[in-house]
Structure 1
Amino acid sequence: MSNHDVSDELLNQIETIRVQYKQRLVADRRKLSSILNGLTTETVEQCVENLHRILHSMSGSAGTFGFEDVGTESRRIDEILKKISTEQTSENKNTLVQLIKDEVTSFCELLSSTEILEEHNTTQSLRARSSKSPAQIDTPEHDEDIEVWLIEEDKTLAEQFSKQLVNFNFKIRTIELGQALEEAGIKGWPDATILDMDGYDFSELVDTNNAFYVKHESPGGLIMLSENDDFEQRMKAAKARALSFMKKPVAFPELIGHLEVVLNRKKVEPPRVMLIDDDKELCSLLKLELESEGMRVNILSDIKNIIPELAEFRPELLLLDMEMPDYSGIDIALLVRQHVQFESLPIVYLSAEQDIDKQAEALLFNADDFLVKPILYQQLISSIRSRIQRARVLNQLISKDGLTGLLKHAAIKEQAELEVKRAQREASPVSIVMLDIDHFKRVNDTYGHATGDTVIASVATLLRHRLRSTDIIGRYGGEEFMVILPNTPETAAFKVIDTIRKVFSEMEFVADENVFNCTFSGGCVCSEDFNSNVNASELTEEADKALYLSKNNGRNRVSKRVQNV
């Protein structure tokens, strides 16, 4: 789809929502007139409450749709009503009724005089924002080869790197520097480039700053190697816009780690946002705007389903209105926080409330930010992205293992529960695999714990690069791992894990002058081989039994479900 097509499609959707909002303004004007017709000294309290609901909603949304005067005036009258309703006495009710009639009648005349069909600035500003295609989130799948160029004049070292990198699903191409620059100028740089700075071609470069700047871009993932680790050499790498620098001789697991850091900068998952607001038109518009920025958005339609929908959608931020007909934003925030799994979920209030004291009070009730309607587009996007980014960093620290970068024990067990329940809802298979490094104590005792850590990290990296991006991997404990493969029957799961086992057994590890190999054993089970009520704990237990069957039968193998259970 071209940029133009995307813009037109988005603008058509926005205009459809604006038409719906125009119709709502007409309906709201009629509701206001109806309330005035029933306004008496006896009904004034109920009338003020009904007026407040309409005016408060309008003050938060009208400006977003281009009706700034309507938004400003509705907010002004709503503030007057709130003030006078708290100060009223039985003696001044007649004065109060007359004041309300004067203010609301004048406001209805404003609504009537507003040219509903007139094109407002909102569409034009959205056209400017939508002239580009929606932000594209680059999320390469792990089950596709990642192209890596290796610029290395030492043929022995190049051969060693190539042999090892292929095991991790990297598509390796050894290339000379001059040819790399020429081809990059035609088709751009690959996913990652490893360049030895000690080569003759690099040393001949005069302008390091611009040497790799071709086709209006620098290499997206440049890793530089050198025996020289001084300031000047590292500065050359920085000027060439290298994201990573490694001192030779390079330990292969360390190189893999640097490659992952470089590539992970590209793999940005789309932010997930859940919206809760009784203003349907505003919600629809916000959804379009956020999705045009590459976010995934879910509008909660039934507040009573909030916990199941949170568990299913797993939003990284909850954006909710402060004031709704039946429940306040504070009510919802407190309810969400009652559930342990959502204690750290960022919650942001979106409200027309401009009273600073009330905003501050609201933030005391388990929320992270307060945004005032109508909110500027860029402010909304920036606030959401910054909150989600900080939440991701925190989640990384909480849920990921420091050595391997995989999910910790509790986190992988939670994911297993979610995936098994999802498989049951969708009537699809999910396989669970338990893996354990063979004779790992012997590795630690013989080569030291640092080498043992390298072996563990290598298993984790191999799993990440050999499995799909939709598969879930965790360090279950010590040298034991759990793998969850959604939508995968046992036969397919067994095949992919057994292939990884064979690749791992051929990898070479170096400790001082010693070169050695390691193996792992595995146990594999699938949900479709059990009754429909099987849970994740039961599947994990069966996978563990299959793992120990592999251990008892000689290790370095993967076994399927133990059939006599």
Structure 2
Amino acid sequence: MSNHNVPEDLQTEIQAIRDQYKERLVSDKSKLTSLLDGLSLTNAQQRANEIHLILHSISGSAGTFGFEKISKEARRIDEKLKEAASHSEQDTVIKLISNDVTHFCQLLDGTGVDNASSSSQSPSTDKTPRKSNPSRSAHEGEVWLIEENEQLAAQFSKQLVNFNFKINTVTLKEALKLADKGGWPDATIIDMDGHPFNAKEDFKTLFTTTEEAPKGLIMLSENDTFAQRIKAAKIRATSFLKKPVDLSKLISHLEAVVNKEKSAQPRVMLIDDDKELCSLMKLKLESQGVQVSILHDVRNIVSELNEFRPELLLLDMEMPEYSGIDIALLVRQNVQFESLPIVYLSAERNLDKQTEALLFDADDFLVKPISNERLISSIRSRVQRARNLEQLISKDGLTGLLKHATIKEHAERELMRARREESPISIVMLDIDYFKRVNDTYGHSTGDTVIASLAALLRHRFRQTDIVGRYGGEEFLVILPNTQEHDAVKIVDAIRIAFSEMQFLADNQTFCCTLSAGCVCSNDLPAQIDASELVEAADKALYASKKNGRNQVSTRQ
């Protein structure tokens, strides 16, 4: 982050933390000087341990603040000291402390750390710009469809509008012109069989006129070959779908692309005894859209983890009272944190010790000092993999919705929350009418497409605060917090109409499906009712819809 790219307010905050760090180095020099006084064979080992803690901390943090020479020298002396101490060479230890540590204190003097306002060195920089006010594409929220076949384009547009996607059908020439002025949208669908693409061996040349390459690329083609897929990969397409395109698969890929752009900020808990380094890391990580919580008292770690719910734990390996391994094992003793990614952050460069540390329930080992760019990349990749794993565990493979057991847990949790807040909660049960007939007539593969399409529609039509799950087969359960019954019915009825208008293709035939739903609200039922009884009441309302002719929404009778 070179200074001309850093906002002035961020530069000021960084300089303030750096000045604090320089004051810390002055204090560390005084501690080292005191440890040199009265050094003898009887206290050499104890003082070597105290000096090690100081040097180890400096070696891991000084480079981050721009004191690379100090960092390297601290590491060199510390490694020599540890080597001598491990062989019980007391004379060598005393000589090292007397000579090397004395010279190190002189180095601190020569660097000017006594002058807290000095700017002789600059903090460690990186190339990552601040994202406090990130520039956004003028076409945010749009999906561009580059499709020459007007009939196919119209078909895609009609279907995708039902899922609340804002579709803009454009030619390649129009897309390049729009992107040059306002950037690319979150997602772009391109038919590779169209005229501008089918003869091209290298698609990269098509996008050289725009400042940045298109993002969220979804490529379509009848030609599902390695050569065609590698062409798509070379322009960094995230998805490749064979035509004719399965609507549910297209929706799924679009959701993955758009949600990646809108994904929640990673939550990171940082445990390190170096307060200035923690402050600087927090500042830089938050400037890149990462939520950071610094744990100051390790004794509160379980309650703090439960409160903040981090998606990654960034843990110093060596602290005065506890090692990183101690903390990692303590965290893993709690079942709810078994899958929490733990990354060690340490000045330790010995590969054998790094390997040993990773055996104790950690996922990665990053060596200090580390560039902000590398740290951000590591955090985002680890968090994304953890989110993907969590999705595999808690969500249904076909629909991407919560599984039966998970949605029931959410129902219990949300009902308890509603009671605490004295707010209403509505529960909706719905399923697809005559679904067995769909499977019998068109096959189970087509039936899966219908289920997946309804699931996608539910994800897009309900609010982000609503919770949707696949209850079983073609049946779905929806939880709508802070929602009265009449509002829930209105939302579900609009979804019912949209689903009835969707067209499905099987064996060159098009067909439509309908759904039935039952809706109940906690305010209309006894106060002592539990979540399972609320779900049962919604199921009875669904049965009433079925009994009264289907394709309708019923409430508690």
**TM-score normalized by structure 2?**
0.79
**1:307/1:478 Cα in 2 relative to 1: closer, same or farther (>3 Å)?**
farther
Aligned to 1:129: 127
* Residue 293 in structure 1 maps to residue 285 in structure 2: no
Which residue matches 1:461? 456
2:7 corresponds to: 7
User: Aligned with 1:129: secondary structure?
Assistant: coil
- Counterpart of 1:302 (choices 297, 304, 308) is 297
Amino acid of the residue matched to residue 22 of structure 1? K
1:556 and 1:301, CA in 2 relative to 1: closer, same or farther beyond 3 A? farther
Q: Describe the shift of the 1:302–1:500 C-alpha distance in structure 2 as closer, same or farther (beyond 3 A).
A: farther
The residue number in structure 2 matching 1:171 is 166
For 2:369, the equivalent position in structure 1 comes to 374
2:549 matched to 1:549?
no
CA-CA distance at 1:451 after TM superposition: 2.1
Is the aligned partner of 1:110 residue 2:102?
A: no
* Structure 1 residue 376, shift from structure 2 partner: 4.2
> By how many angstroms is 1:195 displaced?
5.7
Deviation at 1:16, TM superposition (A): 1.1
When residues 391 and 258 of structure 1 are mapped into structure 2, their CA distance, relative to the original with a 3 A threshold, is closer
Provide the residue aligned with 2:531 in structure 1.
Answer: 539
* Residue 283 (structure 1) shift: 1.0
Aligned to 2:62: 62
Counterpart of 2:310 in 1: which secondary structure? coil
Are 2:311 and 2:383, in contact at CA under 8 Å, matched by a contact in 1? yes
Give the deviation of 1:199 after TM superposition: 7.2
Q: Which runs of 5+ in 1 are unaligned?
A: none
Offset of residue 398 of structure 1: 3.5
Identity value in percent: 59
8 Å contact from structure 2 (residues 247, 453) kept in 1: no
Q: Could you say what the CA RMSD is over the residues aligned between the two structures, in angstroms? A: 4.5
* More deviation, 174-183/251-260: 174-183
Aligned equivalents of 2:138, 2:516: Cα separation in 1? 28
Q: Which residue of 2 aligns with 1:450?
A: 445
Q: Kindly tell me: are residues 408 and 25 of structure 1, through their superposed partners in 2, closer, same or farther at Cα, counting changes over 3 Å?
A: same
Aligned residue type for 1:110: L
C-alpha contact (below 8 Å) 1:192/1:223 kept by paired residues: yes
> What does residue range 220-235 of structure 1 map to in structure 2 within 5 Å?
220-221=215-216
Partner of 1:62: helix, strand, or coil? helix
Is the 1:210–1:240 contact (alpha carbons within 8 Å) kept by the matching residues of 2?
no
In structure 2, how many angstroms separate the alpha carbons of the residues matched to 1:355 and 1:217?
41
One-letter amino acid of the structure 2 residue matched with residue 282 of structure 1: L
CA distance in structure 2 between the aligned counterparts of 1:137 and 1:408, rounded to whole angstroms = 37
Shift of residue 549, structure 1, vs aligned partner: 2.2
Q: Do the aligned partners of residues 76 and 539 (structure 1) sit closer, same or farther apart at CA in structure 2, a change above 3 Å counting?
A: same
Equivalent residue for 1:400, pick from 386, 391, 395: 395
Cα distance in structure 2, aligned partners of 1:406 and 1:286: 36
Separation in 1 of the partners of 2:135 and 2:300? 30
Aligned partners of 2:197, 2:388: CA distance in 1, in Å? 37
The amino acid that maps onto 1:517 is C
Q: CA deviation at 1:394?
A: 3.7
Task: Report Cα offsets for 1:326-354 as digits up to 9, x if no partner.
Answer: 32211111122223332222211112233
1:516 paired residue number: 512
Q: Gapped runs of 5+ residues in structure 2?
A: none
For the pair 1:334 / 2:333, whether they are aligned, the reply is no
**Which string of whole-angstrom CA distances, capped at 9 and with x for unpartnered residues, describes residues 246-266 of structure 1?**
555545434434544554564
Checking the alignment, whether the CA contact within 8 Å between 1:177 and 1:202 is kept in structure 2 is: no
Letter in 2 for 1:12: T
Q: Kindly indicate whether the alpha-carbon contact (under 8 Å) linking 1:438 and 1:556 is maintained by their aligned counterparts in 2.
A: yes
Maintained 8 Å contact 1:17/1:285: yes
* Gap change, CA 1:486 and 1:315, over 3 Å in 2: farther
TM-aligned CA deviation for residue 500 of structure 1:
2.1
Q: Deviations over 1:49-96 (max 9, x none)?
A: 43333333222212222223433343344445545555559xx79x96
Shift in Å, 1:15: 0.9
Quick check: 1:273 aligned with 2:265? no
Q: Equivalent residue for 2:497?
A: 502
**Given residue 455 of structure 1, which amino acid in structure 2 is its aligned partner?**
V
State the 1:456 CA deviation: 1.1
Bigger drift between 315-324 and 538-547 goes to 538-547
CA distance in 2, matches of 1:335, 1:388: 21
Summarize deviations over 1:390-428 as a string: whole Å, max 9, x none: 444444443432212233345545666776787788888
CA contact (8 A) 1:434 1:544 kept: no
Given that 2:190 and 2:218 are in contact with CA atoms closer than 8 Å, whether structure 1 keeps it comes out as yes
Question: Deviations 1:364-404 (Å, cap 9, x if unpaired)?
Answer: 11112222223344443443344334444444443432212
2 CA distance for matches of 1:361 and 1:236? 43
Q: Shift of residue 159 of structure 1?
A: 4.4
Q: CA separation in 2, counterparts of 1:99 and 1:6?
A: 42
- 8 Å CA contact 1:135, 1:292 repeated in 2: no
Query: How far, CA to CA, are the matches of 1:424 and 1:508 in structure 2?
Result: 41
Displacement of 1:437 after TM fit? 3.3
Residue 135 of structure 1 contacts residue 294 of structure 1 at CA under 8 Å; is this kept in 2?
A: no
Q: Distance in 2 between matches of 1:82 and 1:234?
A: 54
Q: Deviations over 1:111-160 (max 9, x none)?
A: 3343024325443x52x63666569598999xx964444645545x5544
- Alpha-carbon distance change, 482 to 293 in structure 1, aligned in 2, over 3 angstroms: same
Structure 1 residues 429, 28: closer, same or farther in 2, change over 3 A?
farther
Provide the secondary structure at the position in 2 that maps to 1:474. strand
Residues 182, 350 of structure 1: alpha-carbon distance in 2 compared, 3 angstrom cutoff: closer
Q: Which of the residues 312, 315, 320 maps onto 2:315?
A: 320
CA contact (8 A) 1:330 1:365 kept: yes
Distance 1:186 1:294 in 2: 26
Instruction: Tell me by how many angstroms 1:467 deviates.
Output: 2.9
Residue 360 of structure 2 aligns with which residue? 365
Deviation at 1:281, TM superposition (A): 0.8
Structure 2 SS opposite 1:404: coil
Change in 2 beyond 3 A, CA 1:425/1:200: same
Q: Cα gap change, 1:104/1:192 in structure 2, threshold over 3 Å: closer, same or farther?
A: closer
